[in-house]
Amino acid sequence: MREIQPVTYNSTVYSDVNLLYSNSLIEPAQLTSKLTYFYGKDSDMFPLLFSTQGQGIINKVAPKALNDTQYEWPVMGRMKHTSAIVGLANSSNTKPGLAHGSFEAIFEDNWLIGQYGLTTPDKAHTLRIQGEAVQLGPKQYKYLLALSTADATEYVSLDNFVPGTNWVMTAPNVAMVLSDGNRSNSMAPGKWTNQYDIVRFSKQITGNIANKVTPIEFDLSDGTTTKLWMPFEMKLFEQDKRIMMEEKLWNGKYNRDEYGVIHLKDPVTQEPIPQGAGVKEILKSVGQYDTYSTLTLAKLDSMVNTIFANRIDSTPMELLLYTGSGGIEMFNNAIKNAASANSYYEKLGGEEIQGGKNGMLSYGKYFGQYKTISGYTITVKQAHIFDHGTYAEMDKKNGRVINSHPYESYDMVLLDHSMSNSGERNVQFVCEAGRENISGVYRGLTPLPASWGAFDRNGLSTRKDMASYEDMSTGGINILNPFTSYFLNFAA
């Protein structure tokens, strides 16, 4: 078998832009959402764009200031009750608390309150905090502590004083008479920030290619066919644009430093170029992240337990595990291995081996859900962007392949799409109000396709035989509560 006519890739020659848009070009914002749904309804190539933008889960925010694409949202965590220890104030004290004696310990903060109780990390000892902290220096607060035991031989073992180990505060106890009051801690909502990207795509034309007919009939995304070249090319243009946008939503890197400065500048204008964090970086930044090489049910359980430890309300959770073909195989094998280890051979065989047509047997049923011991269900959603996107393409070119799947195909992202306490979807597409998507034509003497009519102002922008279609979008991903989602990064 030989290739009759090779596929060609050209990034420099002008081509026509007979847009694959409907007649609603006057309304580009609505058009973008419609196209996202249109391209996504029969494909899993754009799971984030489809589940947010394509479903109308869009948060349009006004820019905070000139050249500033940041957006903020308030967050409120659960009350903190622990403090990390630095160590004993007297390192020569090998039996702190012995014979009902008080001793001093140093903690990283002054969150602990006088009169309150305190339990050691090994849970073997309870103590009372005998007064407020005395600050010794940065992240060093000294407390006077006393064991609450009746046993004069009891003392706190030294393994509880390993730096960074957390002790937990318990209810305050006071004497029956002449007691004094204490105080309480409080927490206020904080803010998280991210920023959306500004992306721009151009397609240039020259000559009369807008009206050229080919001998080949092309299939278009709306189910129709055409022999005009440019409708087909613009189908590819739109798909390629969405692939790159989808990759941004998953893999984008936040590029503002701790002082809020963007160091990436346009070399011509010196204007800052903002880039927002994608799903993977968001989850890594809040610690909802781990790596794996071989998936096990223990790893899945650990991931789910981490998620539900951060949510104690009764709001139903809509959990989808996004992954590629490699991750789906890992997921299936993890459950199958656990089932085999429990000797469920007969049940597995009955499900996997079925009678087929013409007396032939059929083998193959695969796990797509996992119900944890806590009663939560994980549903696998194949994301073809992990198999065929630009990152997957790079993996294949670089030989980062296992069982014919790129490494990217094994990444797993468990996203909580449920409603937040404020009534909003937890995962949202974020864009600049009034500039979700703007399209226009830079017109010259070149004949324009009919579908460009909405942009035609009956004037020339250049004397040259050329025209250009310009498309600018703003977009980013926002996860209101990232602590109920998780990223498992494949590491071979």
DSSP string, 51-97: HTGGGT-EEEE--SBTTB-EEEEEE--PPP-EEEEEEESSTT-SSTT
Q: Which two tokens stand for residue 334?
A: 């993890």
Read off the pLDDT of each residue in 228-236 and give the average, rounded to a whole number: 75
d(CA 117, CA 460): 79
The pLDDT score that the predictor gives to residue 417 is 84
d(CA 183, CA 317): 37
Q: Which of 17-26, 52-61, 446-455, 470-479 has the highest mean predicted lDDT (pLDDT)?
A: 470-479
Read off the pLDDT of each residue in 461-477 and give the average, rounded to a whole number: 77
The pLDDT score that the predictor gives to residue 115 is 83
The pLDDT score that the predictor gives to residue 143 is 93
Per-residue pLDDT of 82-127, as tens digits, reads: 889 999 999 899 999 999 999 999 999 988 888 888 889 988 898 8
The H or E element containing residue 349 is helix 345-352
The pLDDT score that the predictor gives to residue 279 is 92
3-state secondary structure of 280: helix
3-state secondary structure of 453: helix
Q: Which of 190-194, 294-298, 363-367, 373-377 has the highest mean predicted lDDT (pLDDT)?
A: 294-298
The pLDDT score that the predictor gives to residue 207 is 74
The pLDDT score that the predictor gives to residue 142 is 94
d(CA 405, CA 392): 9
Q: Predicted confidence band at 362 (pLDDT cuts at 50, 70, 90)?
A: very low
d(CA 73, CA 251): 21
What is the dihedral sign for C-alpha 318, 324, 327, 328? positive
**Residue 323 in this model has a pLDDT that exceeds 90:** yes
Q: Predicted confidence band at 256 (pLDDT cuts at 50, 70, 90)?
A: confident
Give 277's DSSP letter. -
Q: Predicted confidence band at 358 (pLDDT cuts at 50, 70, 90)?
A: low
Per-residue pLDDT of 37-84, as tens digits, reads: 444 444 567 777 776 765 655 666 665 554 567 777 666 556 678 889
d(CA 119, CA 123): 6
Alpha helices in 252-314 (DSSP H): 279-285, 297-308
Q: Predicted confidence band at 401 (pLDDT cuts at 50, 70, 90)?
A: very high
What mean pLDDT is reported for the chain?
Answer: 75
Identify the weakest region by mean pLDDT among 205-214, 308-317, 406-415: 308-317
**Residue 33 in this model has a pLDDT that exceeds 60:** no
Residue scoring higher pLDDT (28 or 233): 233
The pLDDT score that the predictor gives to residue 406 is 92
**Residue 280 in this model has a pLDDT that exceeds 90:** yes
**Residue 139 in this model has a pLDDT that exceeds 80:** yes
Q: Measure Cα distances from 144 to 130, 141, 408 in Å.
A: 5, 10, 53
**∠ Cα 406 247 376 (to 5°):** 80
**Residue 464 in this model has a pLDDT that exceeds 80:** no
Q: Angle at which helices 325-341 and 345-352 pack, to 10 degrees?
A: 140
d(CA 405, CA 327): 9
d(CA 127, CA 120): 8
Per-residue pLDDT of 325-353, as tens digits, reads: 999 999 888 887 776 655 554 454 445 44
Identify the weakest region by mean pLDDT among 227-231, 356-360, 394-398: 356-360
